[in-house]
Structure 1
């Protein structure tokens, strides 16, 4: 979730940055609806989308299509609610999709500087608390381990990687990464990011 948690397996420490409260998420989703955006959060082991109940029909159609795609599988697991149904007390981030994202971001940040956005493609963005970011997480690790960020090699492919790729010593963007990630990276990999997960024994 954009660097929200750090798990240090050498000493068992877990560092968490700030999550969003249920009330904050409700307020943000209410604002997003004014901009006609699709809103969704991760809860109960899957994504829940709000205000798009028609998607239940699409979900049923995709459930019978035997395609082995990461996005199809995510859609099959997603829940679609007509109203905003939030079951958790805290949330890592809120995600949005739509063509009015620039106006929405401007509106939110004008009144709520405690948030930040990470763009995901041209029609998607994620909102989290201001202290949450992959660069902030890596800086924390560097301070703890006593190393310079200039010695860090990081790989990334999208908007939530841009700050880290630009700031670390060896920022590597994936071959099929976003234009903004490739623009700030010091290197571009010959390899593409795969969306399918593989299990090795």
Structure 2
């Protein structure tokens, strides 16, 4: 029996316009009223998730930053907040400067970028709806950083990922959250760990949870839950480990249509 549904956002619940459709809102509200917990599990910062939560209109727990920050959206209580260690942030910044890369840094729910005119900043601004703050990496604090995000072509990011894993891999969680987003976070987090902890607090067995995802950072979550669903356009690695693959993409109400069929709700 399914008691919880965990939803990734980008490439999963959200369409390509970064919106939640009426169809998705309707089915999720129906399932919530039947007693099923709805959880957002995203790589996004909480500040870029609140409008989506308001749109859904469902009391829920939001797992943001891939599990780095967990918030009770009703009380506003922060249930967990894991930061990037200072020594790891220092090495990351040094790597960025040596490679002359653009990076997006998140601290206290605010987005900072070392080049506001870069293609990286423009893409993130369009996708997140947030406004960046200009920083100088050499003089920027290494404390209270939640994550760093590098945006580029997949093949370029794969090279950076390998280099970063060699540099700080044992001290950080380095993952793709979208094909063009490479993120660096606290080593003790991932979506699977965070979801399991929250469901334990709610007295829900992880095997009674259904989860949807499309990218590398969804892997641990999908491996952990009882019913795992990969999106039609997800990476092949997820399709191989999931019991289900949606018939429709995120831009075709893939999640909503799957839920309607699975729970026999029209």
RMSD between superposed Cα atoms in Å: 3.5
Which residue of the partner structure matches residue 47 of structure 2?
Answer: none
1:158 aligns with 2:212: no
**How far does residue 168 in structure 1 lie from its aligned partner after superposition?**
1.0
Unaligned 5+ runs, structure 1: 63-68, 195-201
* 1:92-122, Cα deviation, whole Å (9 max, x unpaired): 211123523133233224xx52311111344
1:48–1:189 CA distance, 2 compared to 1 (3 A): same
1:15 aligns with 2:79: yes
Give yes or no for contact 2:89–2:142 (8 Å, CA) kept in 1.
no
What is the TM-score normalised by the length of structure 2? 0.55
Match of 1:103 among 158, 162, 172: 162
1:11–1:77 CA distance, 2 compared to 1 (3 A): closer
**How far does residue 78 in structure 1 lie from its aligned partner after superposition?**
3.4
Q: Partner of 2:188: helix, strand, or coil?
A: coil
Give yes or no for contact 2:84–2:172 (8 Å, CA) kept in 1.
no
CA separation in 1, counterparts of 2:69 and 2:107? 17
Alignment of 1:128-167 (within 5 A): 128-167=185-224
Q: Partner of 2:250: helix, strand, or coil?
A: coil
* 1:134-175, Cα deviation, whole Å (9 max, x unpaired): 111111123223332211111112121111112211111222
Runs of 4+ off more than 6 Å: 9-12
Q: Which has the higher contact order (CA 8 A, sep 6+)?
A: 2
Match of 1:55 among 118, 139, 147: 118
Which residue of the partner structure matches residue 184 of structure 2?
Answer: 127
